Amino acid sequence: MSMENGKNTPRFLKSPWLELIVLLGSVILSYIALLIIAGGSDTPPGGMTLMNIVLFLFGFFILSFAIAVIAVMAGIGGGVIYTPLMLAFTPVNSLVVRATGLIVAMFSGLVSTGPFMKRGIGNLKIAMLCCAGYGLGGFLGARGAIYVAATMGAAGEGWVRFSLGCIVLVLGAYFFFGGVKRDWPEIKSGTKTYPAFSNPYYEPSVGKIMDYKVVRLIQGAAAMFGIGLVSGFFGMGAGWAIVPIMNFVMALPLKVAASLSGIVIGMGDCITVWPYIYSGAIIPLFVAPWLVGQVVGGMIGAQVLIRARSEIIRIILIGIMFYTSFGLITNALQKLGVTPALPSWASVLVLVLMMAWVIVVVLRKSFGTEAKKRRQAA
Amino acid sequence: MKDTNMNNNAEAGLKQSFAAMVYGEIVYWLSIVACFVCTIAPILTVAFPENNFLNPYFLFARIWEKTPPDKIWMSAGESHFDAWFWTRNLSQGDGLIMFGLVLGCSCACIGLIGASLAFFFRKGTGAFLGDRLYSVGGGDISRDVGNAPIRESEFSFFKEAVISFFSEDDMVQEPEPKEFCRRLQSCRNLAVFRTRVEIV
């Protein structure tokens, strides 16, 4: 009886729509309530008005929501965008930004875990093994970040921004040129496989049950340690590194690797974030809107906008990453005393040049696609 | 031929790992609950600004002035930061937000405990250990509990409960009565053992 009822239930009363609607409704109602409460309040001398606090919270929520939606559409993790942007263009302490960045990356992974496991594409055994390496590396990376912040002061802040700027620059280039990925990696005969770790799944796009083999488990887990170290230190997601490692080293199919990266980040960052919690770098009122924006934006992006995944948005995001890396490196050089503060016209000039580059690339891609369609039609 | 009506392993007749599903469900719902708590708790912060661990009137100004986190917390009048401050301040806005954050940051751990319990009972290890431990306590499980078949009414009740819980997405197929009774029996054995330990 209950089965029949389940099939007749409207789509919007079923998971995940039901929780998405409840969350979205509670977000809208809570911000209306916040605005009403903040409207008629007194402010102590020297303090910020409650209305400004509410506007800050709302601004953070909207930014986080936008990052989550755009990240889903572009196929790039939210943490990779959040942490560099905040470190490059805001004066917030880097430890607070990195701790919040980990929460942003972690919750993106956590909300995607349930659907992946339900669909059967998530593999808990491999996730746990990879998490052992990733979690340990992430924990040490987080401890290192706290140590650097405590001992190196302004120079430490400068070096963190400089190295992150270089990483983001390389990542932008990697995303732009695409990198080589294999949907179904070939395994050479004689390579040791681990049948206990494989987990066949049904692939709706081809209507077949797909099985895969896993190789080089130990090497994969060891590489995860290094990735965790970087992720924990800089407080950002690491899907950009986990997917290629799983695809090339462990020979996992691309789709399985992409889903597992979210599961591993969600699981591993639950370990990584604790040193930050114990150091006090998680400021509750600052983190809350970023967390909520990631969860709601990520769910809407995954349910509504996944089909609208666009190459153009990806290029715009890559442009943002290049500009962010410029901001991070100049900010770092200034903090390290290498260069004086950059004049504002120089920043604007670089921004205009970057926008021009994005427009040219987008136009070339659009014309290329049009010409290809015309050729195919001919 | 491609069957577009099937979306997941269960529909395609594949046996899905129960422990993985338990992990996925626990993590998903706990992160949703954590998000919900973090959505509504700022209302408490703004409605009662004086009743917060960190004074919200000065918090954002400090964050924007590059203040290190330890100095932000010291402004609350504490000599050192206590990560568990929220346990004593759950009625305060930031205490409640911190509870939501800690819940979210612990959900993978809770999920893995759930997954290991699911694995434990699914594989029958639980049933075996339950029997062994019960016999250590001087009891005889087959005499005290017996291998009496599960009553029809009992079976129907549990079957209905499981199916109604999972029916939304057809995550599990209707269990075989024999397999289901075996699992139910192992749970019952463990419950009896636990009761016996409590009595002792």
Helix or strand run (H / E) with residue A231: helix A217-234
Assigned token pair, A369? 């696609």
| B12 neighbors A201 (Cβ within 8 angstroms) | no
Percentage, residues of chain A above pLDDT 90? 28
CB contact under 8 A, B168 and A22: no
Cα separation of A36 and A39, whole Å? Answer: 5
Least CB–CB distance from A19: residue in B10, B32, B47: B32
| B101 neighbors A107 (Cβ within 8 angstroms) | no
CB contact under 8 A, A22 and B167: no
Q: Which residues pair with A314 in a beta bridge?
A: none
Asked if pLDDT for residue B169 goes beyond 50, the answer is no
What DSSP string describes A165-213? HHHHHHHHHHHHH-----SS----TT--B-GGG---EEETTTTEEE---
Give the three-state DSSP class for A44.
coil
CB contact under 8 A, B39 and A202: no
Cα separation of A343 and B31, whole Å? Answer: 44
Q: What residues have CB less than 8 Å from A306, skipping those under 6 apart?
A: A72, A73
pLDDT at A183: 72
Residue of B nearest to A1 (CA): B164
pLDDT at B141: 47
Q: Please count the other Cβ atoms lying within 10 Å of the Cβ belonging to residue A137.
A: 26
Q: Which amino acid is at A325?
A: S
CB contacts < 8 A, A to B, total 237
Tell me if chain A has a CB within 8 Å of the CB of B118: no
Rg of chain B in Å (alpha carbons): 25
Interface of A with B in 6-25 (CB under 8 A): 6, 9, 14-15, 19, 22-23
pLDDT-derived band at B193 (thresholds 50, 70, 90) equals low
pLDDT at A142: 94
For the purposes of burial, counting CB atoms within 10 Å of the CB of A332, is it exposed (0-12), middle (13-18) or buried (19 or more)? buried
pLDDT-derived band at B171 (thresholds 50, 70, 90) equals very low
Cα separation of A356 and A342, whole Å? Answer: 21
Residue pLDDT, tens place only, A240-260: 888 888 888 888 888 888 888
Assigned token pair, A277? 């919690």
Assigned token pair, A8? 């007749």
Tell me if chain B has a CB within 8 Å of the CB of A134: no
Tell me if chain A has a CB within 8 Å of the CB of B175: no
pLDDT-derived band at B152 (thresholds 50, 70, 90) equals very low
Q: What residues have CB less than 8 Å from A139, skipping those under 6 apart?
A: A228, A232, A271, A272, A274, A275
pTM value?
A: 0.78
Helix or strand run (H / E) with residue B46: helix B18-47
pLDDT at B43: 93
Tell me if chain B has a CB within 8 Å of the CB of A373: no
CA A14 to centroid of chain Cα atoms: 27
Higher pLDDT, A132 or B184: A132
Choose from B25, B38, B99, B173 for mutation: most chain A CBs within 10 A.
B38
Choose from B39, B55, B107, B168 for mutation: most chain A CBs within 10 A.
B39
CB contact under 8 A, B115 and A149: no
Cα distance between the two ends of chain B:
62
Residue of B nearest to A265 (CA): B108
Going by their DSSP bridges, the two strands A201-203 and A208-210 should be labelled as antiparallel
Give the three-state DSSP class for A215.
strand
Residue pLDDT, tens place only, A112-146: 888 888 888 888 999 999 999 999 999 999 999 99
Residue pLDDT, tens place only, A260-314: 888 999 999 999 999 999 998 999 999 999 999 999 988 887 776 555 556 777 7
Residue pLDDT, tens place only, B69-127: 888 888 766 667 788 888 888 888 889 999 999 999 999 999 999 988 888 776 555 55
Alpha carbon distances (Å) from A203 to A245, A258, A378: 22, 14, 34
Give the three-state DSSP class for A66.
helix
- All residues of chain B having their beta carbon less than 8 Å from the beta carbon of residue A37 are 43, 46-47
Asked if pLDDT for residue B67 goes beyond 70, the answer is yes
CB contact under 8 A, A107 and B104: yes
Residue of A nearest to B100 (CA): A288
Complex ipTM, two decimals? 0.85
- All residues of chain A having their beta carbon less than 8 Å from the beta carbon of residue B72 are 280, 283
Give the three-state DSSP class for A23.
helix
CB contact under 8 A, A33 and B27: no
What DSSP string describes B116-132? HHHHHHHTTHHHHHHHH
Least CB–CB distance from B83: residue in A52, A277, A286: A277
Closest by Cα among A43, A245, A235 to A126: A245
pLDDT at A9: 75
For the purposes of burial, counting CB atoms within 10 Å of the CB of A190, is it exposed (0-12), middle (13-18) or buried (19 or more)? exposed
| A204 neighbors B7 (Cβ within 8 angstroms) | yes
DSSP letter (8 states) at residue A343: P
Give 3-state DSSP helix, strand, coil % of chain B, rounded to 5: 70, 0, 30
| A285 neighbors A57 (Cβ within 8 angstroms) | yes
CB contact under 8 A, A106 and B104: yes
CB contact under 8 A, B6 and A202: yes
What DSSP string describes A259-291? HHHHHHHHHHHHHHHHHHHHHT---HHHHHHHH
| A137 neighbors B58 (Cβ within 8 angstroms) | no
DSSP letter (8 states) at residue B7: -
Count the alpha carbons within 13 Å of A95 in the hemisphere toward its beta carbon. 30
Q: Please count the other Cβ atoms lying within 10 Å of the Cβ belonging to residue B121.
A: 18
- All residues of chain B having their beta carbon less than 8 Å from the beta carbon of residue A116 are 24
Omega within 30 of 0 (cis) for the link into A195: no
Tell me if chain A has a CB within 8 Å of the CB of B152: no
Residue pLDDT, tens place only, B17-51: 788 888 999 999 999 999 999 999 999 999 988 88
Least CB–CB distance from A48: residue in B60, B86, B98: B60
